[in-house]
Amino acid sequence: MSAPTPASAIGDDGVLSRVRARTTVSGLTMMCVTALFALTGWVWPAWLAGGPGLVIGVVVVAAAGGMGLVLLRRARLWGLAAVRASSWAGDLGGPGWVNAVCGQARPMRRNSGPPMLRRVSKHAQIVLPLKAQFGPLAGGEAVMVHARADALAPTRDDDLRVYAITTRGPFLLGRPVDGALFVADRWIFAAL
């Protein structure tokens, strides 16, 4: 069990707004790139007009546009998570929150490789084995917990309360001992 932390630890420490903003910007950027590709490919200078260029253009526009739509949907789910997280601070849970126990957390990436390719981060995301009493995480799953600015993280054998926005994520992990709220996901794209 973790030791109690100061009252400033209550809540998500801005993680939800950061992840939602990054996902929204990524989705909108992908949609703009798709529109730019379509305009330059088919309207002017029309380098994709006719034959194989048309097929290549349709495939690229469909793939890039689909990725943009997926990211915008994820941003909407992060917004729903932010609305649900507001209930955590008030009553430390409520209906829909499920008890869970976590295993030993591991860092998502190690700082290895050439220095120019290494992403230096103050606090890295962690991969956390989690087993809930019931719901989408009942079978025991590993989720990616987004880093908080205050470096709080779940530790082995913490009693957590879990709320799943959808069965595939995002997930809110609350620690009733100190009121800290952690944000987790199964998607690697959420780490953008």
Render pLDDT for 142-192 as a digit per residue (tens, 0 to 9): 898 988 888 888 888 888 999 999 888 899 999 888 888 999 988 554 444
Can you spell out the DSSP letters for 18-30? Answer: HHHHHHHHHHHHH
- The band of 91, judged by pLDDT with boundaries at 50, 70 and 90, is low
Q: Where are the domains of the chain?
A: 7-191
Contacts of 186 (CB under 8 A, 6+ apart): 141, 143, 144, 168, 169
Q: Using the predicted structure, report yes or no on whether residue 135 has a pLDDT greater than 90.
A: no
Render pLDDT for 50-66 as a digit per residue (tens, 0 to 9): 788 888 888 999 999 99
Q: Using the predicted structure, report yes or no on whether residue 107 has a pLDDT greater than 60.
A: yes
Q: Using the predicted structure, report yes or no on whether residue 120 has a pLDDT greater than 70.
A: no
Contacts of 92 (CB under 8 A, 6+ apart): 161, 174, 176, 179
Q: What is the pLDDT of residue 51?
A: 82
Q: How far apart are CA 175 and CA 155, in angstroms?
A: 10
Q: What is the pLDDT of residue 42?
A: 82
